[in-house]
Amino acid sequence: MAGRAENPIVSEAVFVAGGLLAAVLARRVVNVVWVAATGKQVPDDPADPRVSTGEAVAFAVATGAVMGVARLLVLRKANAIRARRAARAEVSA
């Protein structure tokens, strides 16, 4: 890629797509782990009164934790890539 100008719009689109992919994968992980741990299907609507409060809270905590970790990992990777590109740009300038 040497000699080719970096398009910031394309870079941002790639990072956003990576974030969306991470969110989809994180949700699938939560679903699989939830079924394995509880033996029950994932609640379709945790706000539904037929879902116990404890189950709704546990599902919300599990989902939030996994999504937060996935987001953190994507942001760290994106920042590492940006830092490497900036360092290469400084060297070539």
- Please write the tens of the pLDDT for every residue from 37-79: 999 999 988 889 999 999 999 999 999 999 999 989 988 888 8
- Has residue 3 been placed in a domain? no
Overall number of domains in the chain: 1
> Residues 30, 66: contact at Cβ < 8 Å?
yes
Contacts of range 34-37, beta carbons closer than 8 Å, 24 or more positions apart: 34/59, 34/62
The confidence score (pLDDT) of residue 31 equals: 94
pTM of the model: 0.74
The confidence score (pLDDT) of residue 2 equals: 47
The confidence score (pLDDT) of residue 93 equals: 67
Q: Which of 68, 67, 75 is nearest to 15 (CA)?
A: 75
Task: For the chain, give the percent of residues with pLDDT over 90.
Answer: 44
Q: Which residue range forms the structural domain that includes residue 22?
A: 8-92
How confident is residue 6, by pLDDT bands cut at 50, 70 and 90?
low
How is residue 34 written in tokens? 């939830």
